[in-house]
Amino acid sequence: MTDVDDRTPAPRPTEMQVRARADALLSRMTVEEKVGQLVQYFSFGPHFTSDGPALQQPDEVEHALARGRTGALLFVTDPAETNRLQRLAIEGSRHGIPALFGFDVVHGLRTIFPVPIAMAASWDPGTVERGQAVAAREARAVGVHLTFAPMLDIARDPRWGRMVEGPGEDPYLASALAAAQVRGFQGDDVGAPDRIIAGPKHFVGYGAALGGRDYDEVDLSESALRNVYLPPFRAAVEAGAGNVMSAYMDLNGIPAGATRRLFTEILREQWGFTGFVVTDADAGRDLVTHGFAADAAEAAARGVGAGVDLEMATTDPAYAHLPEALERGDLDIATVDASVRRILEAKVRLGLFERPFVDERRAAVVLADPAHREEARVAAERSAVLLRNEGGLLPLDPTTLRSVAVLGPLADSRRDTLGPWVFDVDLDETVTVLAGLRGRLDPAVTEVRFAPGIRPARRVFPSMFDVHPGNVPADPEDFDDDAELRRAVSLAAGSDVAVVVLGEWQHMIGEGASRSSLDLPGRQEELLRAVVATGTPVVLVLMNGRPLDLRWAAENVPAILDVWYPGTRGGTAAARLLTGDVSPAGRLPFTWPRSVGQVPLIYSHTRSHSPSAQGVRYWDEASTPLFPFGFGLSYGRFAYSGLTLDRISVRRGESVAVSVTVTNTGNRDADEVAQLYLHQRHGTASRPVRELAGFRRLHVPAGGSRDVVFRLGPAELSYWNAAAGTVVQDRAPFDVWVGGDATAELTTSFVVTG
Ligand code: NOJ
């Protein structure tokens, strides 16, 4: 049913009009009505079973809407349902205030893009922006106005399962991708019919959880916070993000979600953020759980008092106790008003008062748009990383390949191809690696044979995240483990090449899925070793969202292509990469350790005592990575030359231009990611041995060259200094390296003076 045709854009209000409209509403609202605007309820649809976490029942949600006790919902993505609930919200409010609908549109809604860590591996802000623009278009079409994305938590410990959702280890790369994602979601105007509000999360430091255990406490120095963990959020705010989500854990001994310095001082006063802050799910009440607030009213007062505006709650929201907190004098009404105003302003900017409903027929058309699937395919191609290619095994030649054995438990798993954090998908249109190869190879030339080899690995401890049907792979019936493994190996033995698709099942990664090991789970390595032992050339295709322990594979498997969780068109993309229709050009957005004992392992460490022994810090393992940050191979071959500076001495505040020529000396057209690393030799703090300070993804035809110019200015040459308690730019000599990864050797230097 269509209430209003949402293609007619409402005129964009000026910021003065936004403020005036919010103030006019605010002046007429009771305390209870105001508090209702600060509560966001989950509205779980049929996707979720009732034996999952304690959830509101649908009638509770409807009751709360009809009485103005909530002004925001999350998890509703059916357009008929968003319209129905929206009507209840408007009718339940004396002032006709529409509800705000939020959802985790993390890497797509119906069209699923590669997981965020994969998108980061594209090193391509344009691809990232286009992906989130597609996600926004689909989300807005069904009535979602706010996404809980991008996740911008720097992650340096791959045991932490949520690494898959973020930008990796590096603040410079993460900041570029943060801004791109905000632009993709929001465009120029969140009131436009295909845009939604972006909600960078989790503010801040969540990725540094102790031991990589999800939700565990975090201790971060001011230097780490300012130089590493905050910059991506700042970039998102500068790109105009309309929302920020608080983090669950304690940060330096205080719940992050009640830290006034974060939300009021840094976010609003220092960075000028004008949007609203939402808690993570149930994190309002968590202030009691943390042993911080005595009761729900105090939790609400301390959360809102810190600058948090909206509580995302399952049952019994703490913020519903705000009237009590006001009566007790724990909080003043002006603080509550400021939060309510921010929520109302967001609704005005979104144009919800003019266009609260969606056109359900149009939603169906938007969700089915083939152009979205094409964008997802291209993104999957651009994010895959070629980790090894001994003897040029790849690309495979489809004109001469007579048989290929496609093996492994992930080779034909549609759910796993999509990765975690997807809900409203159509599995039938998801292309697995097996399906992609079948589609790409001519059956008259190449016979494609398939065997999974092993059964899915089981989660050791049950999780609340298993409630979504299909999330946990079904245990196959009548699966004779040894016989299946033998069958897979014999298919390999009788084929020209074996493509073995291994990794982590998607439910092994993501929220609540930290791991104590980085091994290939189950009997996967056993399968891989047995296949390699047949002597048939092997291509390992990896599906993962974090580095895995590939020590054996990196020495014994000739070709390794990491496709991550590549999304709806992942298999099509994988097949095109494997057969050379396109050259892989993704680059690692993190340092790939050899083993779990090395973590955290980062390229941008500082130099300390006995630097010549940096690579031999362990008794039993090299302390170098298996693959460096920024690494990735290509079907092209790249040479860097002519590294020059436009000056060798700059004054503070000035910029230096760094030029280099990138030549593709190979015989295939390919993309390269030119990377610039910087080191300050000495100064008023110890600075990392190398830090990424520029990158450019370029297409270079075979035999062709491209000139690249990087500009290094105060933003790249300054840093937050712990002793000074502020950002400083030292007078110092700097080394520069340019090349294809963090071990680049082509170098030059310059000096910052006066
Ligand atoms: C908890 C997660 O930490 C957060 O990232 C997510 O947005 C909410 N749940 C809602 O699903």
Considering only CA atoms, which of 284, 166, 277, 264 is closest in space to residue 214? Answer: 166
CA-closest residue to ligand 1 atom 9? 281
Position 2 confidence tier, pLDDT thresholds 50, 70, 90: very low
CB 373 near ligand 1, within 6 Å: no
Q: Where in the chain is the domain with CATH 3.40.50.1700?
A: 375-588
- In a 3-state reduction of DSSP, which class is residue 185? helix
Would you call 94 exposed, middle or buried from its count of C-beta atoms within 10 A (0-12, 13-18, 19+)? exposed
CB 569 near ligand 1, within 6 Å: no
CATH of the domain spanning 638-753: 2.60.40.10
Cβ atoms within 10 Å, residue 623: 14
The mean pLDDT value of the chain amounts to: 95
Indicate which residues carry an active-site annotation. Answer: 280
55 and 48 Cβ atoms separated by less than 8 Å: yes
CB 201 near ligand 1, within 6 Å: yes
From 42, 48, 115, 148, mutation site for ligand 1 pocket: most ligand atoms within 8 A of C-beta: 148
* C-alpha dihedral sign at 304, 306, 312, 315: negative
The phi and psi torsions of 303 (rounded to 5 degrees) equal -70, -55
Q: Give yes or no for residue 725 having a pLDDT over 50.
A: yes
Cβ atoms within 10 Å, residue 754: 8
Query: At the top level of CATH, which class does the domain 375-588 belong to?
Result: alpha beta
Q: How far is CA 422 from CA 8, 506, 685, in A?
A: 30, 10, 43
Q: Which residues of 248-283 are buried (b: 16+ CB within 10 A; e: fewer)?
A: bbbbeebbbbbbeebbbebbbeebebbbbbbbbbbb
Structure tokens at 170: 């590096």
Give the pLDDT confidence of 595-652 residue by residue, as tens digits: 999 999 999 999 999 888 877 889 999 999 999 999 999 999 999 999 999 999 999 9
Q: Ligand 1: which atom is nearest the Cα of residue 248?
A: 3
**Position 76: which residue type?**
V
CB 281 near ligand 1, within 6 Å: yes
Residue 103 CA to ligand 1 centre (angstroms):
9
Q: Tell me the H-state helices in 511-584.
A: 524-533, 551-556, 570-578
Residue 258 CA to ligand 1 centre (angstroms):
17
Position 1 confidence tier, pLDDT thresholds 50, 70, 90: very low
Position 55 confidence tier, pLDDT thresholds 50, 70, 90: low
* Whole-number pLDDT of residue 8: 64
Q: Give yes or no for residue 157 having a pLDDT over 70.
A: yes
Q: Ligand 1: which atom is nearest the Cα of residue 165?
A: 5
Structure tokens at 495: 């084929």
Distance CA 108, CA 120 (A): 15
CB 104 near ligand 1, within 6 Å: yes
- Find the helix packing angle between 360-367 and 125-142, rounded to 10°: 150
User: Residues 6 or more apart from 340 whose CB is under 8 A from it?
Assistant: 26, 29, 34, 37, 38, 309
Q: Is the pTM of this model over 0.95?
A: yes
Q: Where in the chain is the domain with CATH 2.60.40.10?
A: 638-753
Residue 466 CA to ligand 1 centre (angstroms):
15
* Whole-number pLDDT of residue 60: 87
